[in-house]
């Protein structure tokens, strides 16, 4: 359920589009596909400094424990995503959800689809994007584990009608916030009830498109190449399949 994303826009485009600046010069490179299981950086606007783009290691929220063994923790726990409706029930996610929310920049993500609802078969990846491959923001929560080291989890919610057909097994989708709610997600005084209301009702109103791409499931996760999105790149207005 959304363990892979893309951000193919240039830094100049992102900074102009969002009215922000990159925090650390030289840390940003566009990517066609990254997997959370390789723990790359995602680029985020944090609640504490929303005018700057921060590199945050994806994925997996790490507890703020100075003696934490990161490798052993990641072997025992998968924190790549945080279920939005359970944010306030989770000991790991509750405090970050209250105090350290962020916007994760993206222009697409990948979801597993099982043709004909055959869940015993291997899934095929569907690339999900907006009209014209527009930039959007996914809700996230983060921790600052060490000096200049942030780690982030992507917030998901129950799938709408469109994503119930795309991610037809788990029926989940990333919480892509409607632009009218992006500033609200970063409000420091947001109450628990309001956070959960955004999880439930804050999904973007514009409808996503999807297209089948080269199947990378079961292969090397390192598939960050132009070829994986070649067809979509050359025709960004593809219709839903």
pTM: 0.91
Give a yes or no: residue 84 inside a domain. yes
Give a yes or no: residue 20 inside a domain. yes
Give a yes or no: residue 64 inside a domain. yes
Tell me if 213 sits within 8 A of 110, measured CB to CB.
yes
Dist. CA 100–CA 215, nearest whole Å: 35
| 127-152 pLDDT, tens digit each | 999 998 899 999 999 988 777 889 99
* CATH number of the domain within which 19 lies: 3.90.1680.10
Give a yes or no: residue 77 inside a domain. yes
Instruction: Residue 44: name the closest of 7, 77, 74, 13 by CA.
Output: 7
Give a yes or no: residue 149 inside a domain. yes
In this prediction, residue 240 has a pLDDT band, given cuts at 50, 70 and 90, of: very low
Q: Which residue has the tokens 């105090």?
A: 99
Q: Under DSSP, is residue 196 helix (H, G, I), strand (E, B) or coil?
A: helix
| 75-85 pLDDT, tens digit each | 666 678 999 99
Give a yes or no: residue 240 inside a domain. no
Beta strands in 78-223 (DSSP E): 81-83, 101-106, 108-113, 124-129, 136-146, 149-158, 172-174, 209-212
Domain region containing 134 = 4-234
Give a yes or no: residue 23 inside a domain. yes
Instruction: Residue 176: name the closest of 92, 89, 84, 57 by CA.
Output: 84
Instruction: Report the domain count for the chain.
Output: 1
Give a yes or no: residue 183 inside a domain. yes
| 189-228 pLDDT, tens digit each | 999 999 999 999 999 999 999 988 877 776 654 577 777 7
Render the burial of 142-152: b for 16+ CB within 10 Å, e for the rest: bbbbeeeebbb
């Amino acid at each position: 359920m959304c363990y892979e994303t893309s951000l193919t826009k240039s830094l100049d485009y992102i900074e102009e589009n969002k009215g922000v600046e990159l925090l650390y010069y030289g840390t940003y490179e566009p990517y066609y596909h990254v997997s959370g299981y390789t723990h790359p950086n995602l680029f985020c606007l944090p609640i504490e400094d929303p005018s700057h783009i921060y590199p945050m290691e994806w994925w997996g929220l790490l507890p703020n424990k100075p003696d934490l063994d990161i490798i052993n923790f990641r072997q025992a726990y998968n924190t790549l995503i945080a279920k939005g409706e359970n944010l306030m029930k989770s000991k790991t996610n509750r405090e970050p959800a209250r105090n350290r929310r962020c916007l994760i920049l993206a222009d697409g993500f990948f979801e597993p689809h099982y043709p004909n609802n055959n869940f015993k078969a291997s899934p095929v990846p569907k690339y999900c994007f907006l009209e014209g491959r527009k930039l959007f923001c996914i809700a996230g929560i983060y921790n600052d584990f060490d000096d200049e080291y942030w780690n982030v989890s992507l917030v998901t919610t129950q799938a709408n009608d469109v994503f119930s057909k795309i991610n037809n097994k788990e029926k989940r989708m990333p919480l892509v916030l409607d632009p009218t709610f992006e500033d609200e997600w970063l409000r420091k005084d947001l109450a628990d009830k309001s956070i959960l209301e955004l999880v439930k009702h804050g999904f973007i109103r514009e409808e996503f498109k999807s297209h089948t791409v080269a199947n990378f499931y079961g292969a090397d996760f390192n598939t960050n190449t132009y070829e994986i999105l070649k067809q979509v790149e050359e025709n960004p207005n593809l219709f839903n399949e």
